[in-house]
Structures are given as structure tokens and as C-alpha cells.
Amino acid sequence: MELFSGGELDRMFMEKSGCVNYSYTPWVSENSDVYERAIYYKFEKRISRYRVEVTSTQQRSLLEGKGWLLQEVMNFHGVPLGDFFNVSKSNLACS
């Protein structure tokens, strides 16, 4: 679970993925096995021609001692309105 611990590995992974100005809040316990944090970053120009900013809320919960379930709600800011958007792992484009 080191990747989602909020350390340097998180930052390196996000920067290699094309996300800049990556910041996060510490994990806060919602109850005994559920933790939540907020994340913010921008897409580099090579990822999107628009100045897309992302705010995200992540929630992780323990899965019966077998690992973690990570749920995320993402909000995209700066994406122009349109009839069709193609979102893929490495590219955000408006058609």
C-alpha cells in the first residue's frame, strides 16, 4: 500500500504520469477501517491542450484483512463543454 501512502513514491508516479503540482492531504480516519484524503494536480500540456485541474477524494477501506479497497471521486476543472469527451489513460481529448 506504499503507492497510496502519500509519500515520495506517490509523487514520482503522478509526475511520470503527466500530473504536475501534485499535492494531497494526510489520510484521516473516518472510522476504524476507513480512511479518506483529498488530492489536487494539473495535467501537463503533453496530456491535455486545456489547463485541466483535478480535485479528487480518495477513500480506502480494509477488505477483511486481505488488502485495501480504494474508491475515488474525481472532479475535472477547466474542461470545455462539449457533446463528446474521450478520456483514456494517457490522453484527454475533446471531440
Q: Tell me: the pLDDT tens digits for 41-83? A: 998 877 777 788 999 999 988 888 788 888 999 998 887 766 6
The Cα diameter of the chain in Å comes to: 45
- Output b/e per residue, 57-68; b: 16+ Cβ within 10 A: ebebeeeeeeee
pTM attached to this predicted model: 0.68
pLDDT of residue 15: 84
Average pLDDT in the chain: 79
